[in-house]
């Protein structure tokens, strides 16, 4: 096959770049994977009925639940993610298709239940690993707090910063505030220090 398959370059293409095109394909595969029968088999085999609060008439509510494979707490099914232990990884060009599909439509043993919190932490680590950055579980825990603070509105954020000894200069704009925060939480894998690197980290 000739290597001239570049739909993102064609007139009227909705994809502005090769990476946008492959992100779309990845999304479509994820949609198919969400209906994967082996995943459903995993859910049916690992869910159990559990008491979850009471109805107005005093009867106990029984719902499907499961156990998070990381923190080992019990949650109702709706609050659990079915996680790929080995993640499907990146899909940036056709050479990665076979591996990606094999990992996405994986065998039963590669599934686990994770609660939202544990899943968020693992996703952060998996996503960074995809870009060649290996952060520890402790790093991911810190990142959680960092994101909470980073998303504060400007005024509460300024207050938070000044309570932690930030100078006026360090609070003057978004970039300086983010630099202070990245240093404070030791978010060594993100470098929001110049406009250029910021643009780079946003575009995979
Ligand atoms: Zn958990």
Q: What is the pLDDT of residue 120?
A: 92
**pLDDT tens digits in sequence order for the chain, 204 residues long:** 556 788 999 888 899 999 999 999 999 999 999 999 999 999 999 999 999 889 999 999 999 999 999 999 999 999 999 999 999 988 988 999 999 999 999 999 999 999 999 999 999 999 888 888 899 989 988 998 998 999 999 999 999 999 999 999 999 999 899 999 999 999 988 865 444 444 444 444
52 shares its domain with 85: yes
111 and 141 share one domain: no
CA of 21 to the centre of ligand 1 (A): 34
Q: What is the pLDDT of residue 196?
A: 41
Domain finish residue from 57, 87, 115:
115
**CA 115 to ligand 1 centroid distance, Å:** 4
Q: What is the pTM for the complete model shown?
A: 0.75
**pLDDT for the residue 194:** 40
Same domain? 51 vs 79: yes
The pLDDT of residue 131:
82
Do 62 and 49 form a contact (C-beta atoms < 8 A)? yes
Tell how far the Cα of 82 is from the centroid of ligand 1, in angstroms. 12
43, part of any domain: yes
**Is residue 185 included in any domain, yes or no?**
yes
Q: How many domains does the chain fold into?
A: 2
pLDDT value at position 3? 63
Report how far ligand 1's centroid is from the alpha carbon of 10 (Å): 45
Question: What DSSP assignment string belongs to the chain?
Answer: --S---GGGSTT-S-SSHHHHHHHHHHHHHHHHTT-HHHHHHHHHH-EEEEEEE-TTSPEEEEEEEE-TTT--EEEGGGEEEEESS------SGGGHHHHHHHHT--GGGEEEEEHHHHHHHHHHHHHHHTT----HHHHHHHHHHHHHHTS-HHHHHHHHHHTT--GGGGSSHHHHHHHHHHHTT-TT--TTSHHHHHHHH--
* 81 Cα: distance to centroid of ligand 1 (angstroms): 10
Residue 188 C-alpha to ligand 1 middle, in angstroms? 25
pLDDT of amino acid 111: 97
Say whether both 77 and 34 belong to one domain. yes
134: number of Cβ within 10 Å? 9
- Which residues have beta carbons under 5 A from ligand 1 (an ion)? 68, 70-71, 115, 118
- Position 202 scores a pLDDT of 44
pLDDT value, residue 85? 96
Is 140 among the domain residues? yes
In a domain, 123, yes or no: no
What range does the domain containing 38 cover?
Answer: 15-115
Query: What local confidence, expressed as pLDDT, does residue 191 receive?
Result: 65
Give the list of residues 6+ apart from residue 36 with CB closer than 8 angstroms, or none. 104, 105
Ligand 1 center to 70 CA (angstroms): 5
Are 109 and 158 within one domain? no
Residues 100 and 181 in one domain: no
């Amino acid at each position: 096959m000739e290597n001239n398959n570049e739909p993102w370059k064609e007139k009227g293409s909705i994809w502005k770049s090769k990476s946008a095109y492959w992100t779309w394909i990845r999304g479509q595969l994820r949609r198919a994977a969400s209906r994967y029968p082996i995943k459903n088999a995993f859910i049916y085999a690992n869910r159990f009925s559990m008491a979850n609060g009471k109805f107005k008439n005093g009867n106990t509510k029984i719902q499907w639940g499961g156990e998070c494979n990381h923190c080992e707490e019990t949650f109702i099914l709706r609050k659990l993610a079915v996680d790929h232990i080995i993640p499907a990884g990146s899909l940036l060009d056709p050479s990665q298709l076979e591996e990606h599909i094999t990992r996405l439509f994986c065998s039963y043993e590669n599934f686990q239940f994770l609660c939202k919190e544990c899943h968020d932490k693992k996703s952060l680590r998996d996503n960074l690993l995809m870009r060649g950055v290996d952060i520890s579980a402790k790093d991911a825990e810190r990142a959680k707090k960092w994101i909470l603070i980073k998303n504060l509105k400007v005024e509460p954020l300024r207050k938070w910063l000044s309570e932690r000894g930030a100078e006026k200069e360090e609070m003057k704009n978004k970039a300086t505030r983010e630099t202070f925060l990245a240093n404070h939480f030791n978010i060594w894998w993100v470098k929001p220090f110049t406009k250029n690197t910021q643009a780079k980290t946003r575009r995979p």
